[in-house]
Structure 1
């Protein structure tokens, strides 16, 4: 406990909850579109928060190059391969799927469950960490801010394409951002937050900080409104992790969650334990959704319930998923070599 950052543990736990909320769709197709969109945009903050935390913790490197890569790949890549096999076997058993699918897609895309895409992204960031670590350790705050401004600008180009009818191609100046944008921006943002301690994140709830956070929220709402009502964009396009709305909302979420203070020892232990096993819970939660919950919640989808009631049911199911996944991970961790299963 003494070596952990309780604020990061809180953010990690909330991010995990939001990710599972995004993946939980019990009866939501029957409720109002507004509630579905609200749940979606709030839930889409989860993955960016994990990227920000990773940058906060991994930059600058605390180990040598090969030691860093070795530690991260053992903790992430081996469990990833293990769960790729598990999800393929579960699909073959419960969905009459083929255990081996000899086509070109499966030869290059190992992930057998949609949520495992995150592992590709985080492994890529780990691979580039030894290269960028020393540079960003010496980098000035103004250079950081320049990069983050360019990255933030790049997240608006989806709107630009819809507005102008242009497409993304390599003869367009926006192609510059292809090389410096994307998930790397969240990663570097995490280190920027740790190194320069922006007052609107680490400061108290004073008028200035409230105005800054309120402005971030308002700008996000404006982009949602413009996307839906002026550019005919879909929810998927507006909420893509590399577009401006999730970027703004994840910064806002990180700032708000950092200000939460927990003093109760029991709650701190629960948060600490959930955070410690969060990666394992992330790996297994889809199996709980697809192969355990249908046994109990299948009838809910056919009921005509109030939208708020359905949303509350989904929140309850997410909490139940975390509890079930947590205890499975804890039990498996009693076994030798369990780190190769859940990291």
Structure 2
């Protein structure tokens, strides 16, 4: 039996809504927060340590399973994006209001607001403001995702005409090339620079079809060509998830005993590395099977989906404090789960309240 895309009419906004995309955004948002709750156990982005084996295994098993988080968020954002519909000016105007302005607001907040509760003094906030136009402050390191997303938006008008005309076989060819580049994270560690890469040329042969671009292309391909039934979806998706998960956990555990940098420890966890890529493909297909598009539960999921961007923006302002509240009161794995769920709920409530303010859309999207 073929899978059909469930589209729900939303009279109050005069448009259509794909219900499973709401589930996808809600799930991906929770997964991102779960990843960052795990990081509180062992890492500050630059160094890492584990107090005991329980902490190590808790992080490896939980965070390893959450690796599709960022790819799913991106694929959800781009699923209906390409090819572009309408003129480019309107496209960018909408992204300016919905994405760029809240992004800038939170760049400033992460650079300054922690001084209000004594995390640093106000003089440091002033220093942070002097560099915020260059890059994110370490306190808001999760905002890297927005820089990447804006980059996708900038290139969207260029690749959109190609996607309107490309054949299925041609798109498969580029997805296959992209998938080969997902191994480059590990190749670089063993053989160094490849394919013309050197200090005066950081853009090797496959640079322009590597990274998160492939996830956007994959989302477009799934929307256009993959319409499988439940059995085939499960037959493909589950092996992808299991294989990727085993590699993610295995690499992390192995490297925890020999790696000296977080970068090496988390090499297999990068969003555009091959294990998270195949996990994301499988997870995306599974979530498409969700048929629930009405009722009280879906109403909550839909609201979370609508608030997910604001929740993502603000969650790292709250999560460290929530983690500190639970830390030491229960086993590590319970601390991780409690921190993530509590932060998720608090951020949802706060985002919903802010969205009702006259200028709320400029803060939480």
* Bin for the TM-score computed over the shorter chain: 0.7 to 0.9
Check if 1:170 corresponds to 2:196.
Answer: yes
Structure 1: state its 5+ residue gaps.
none
Which residue of 1 is the match for residue 167 of structure 2?
140
Counterpart secondary structure, 2:291 = coil
Count of aligned residue pairs for this structure pair: 329
Which residue of 2 is the match for residue 63 of structure 1?
86
* Distance change (3 Å), C-alpha of 1:45 and 1:319: same
Q: Which of 156, 163, 185 pairs up with 2:214?
A: 185
Check if 1:283 corresponds to 2:313.
Answer: yes
> What pairs up with 1:23-62 in 2 under 5 angstroms?
23-25=36-38, 29-30=50-51, 31-62=54-85
Kept in 1: contact 2:108–2:132 (CA 8 A)? no
Q: Which of 119, 132, 141 pairs up with 1:95?
A: 119
* Distance change (3 Å), C-alpha of 1:157 and 1:273: same
More helix by share: 1
Structure 2: state its 5+ residue gaps.
1-7, 10-15, 43-49
Check if 1:210 corresponds to 2:210.
Answer: no
Give the deviation of 1:35 after TM superposition.
Answer: 2.2
Q: Give the Cα separation in 1 of the matches to 2:168 and 2:85.
A: 21
Which residue of 2 is the match for residue 335 of structure 1?
357
Kept in 1: contact 2:67–2:271 (CA 8 A)? yes
Check if 1:254 corresponds to 2:277.
Answer: no
- Give the CA RMSD over aligned residues: 2.8
Q: Which of 244, 252, 262 pairs up with 1:220?
A: 244
Which residue of 1 is the match for residue 334 of structure 2?
312
Q: Give the Cα separation in 2 of the matches to 1:325 and 1:229.
A: 35
TM-score by length of 1: 0.86
Q: Which of 317, 327, 347 pairs up with 1:301?
A: 327
Q: Give the Cα separation in 2 of the matches to 1:330 and 1:102.
A: 28
Give the deviation of 1:8 after TM superposition.
Answer: 0.7
Which residue of 1 is the match for residue 226 of structure 2?
197
Q: Give the Cα separation in 1 of the matches to 2:85 and 2:219.
A: 16
Q: Give the Cα separation in 1 of the matches to 2:350 and 2:153.
A: 27
Which residue of 1 is the match for residue 297 of structure 2?
267
TM-score by length of 2: 0.81
Give the deviation of 1:159 after TM superposition.
Answer: 2.5
Counterpart secondary structure, 2:275 = helix
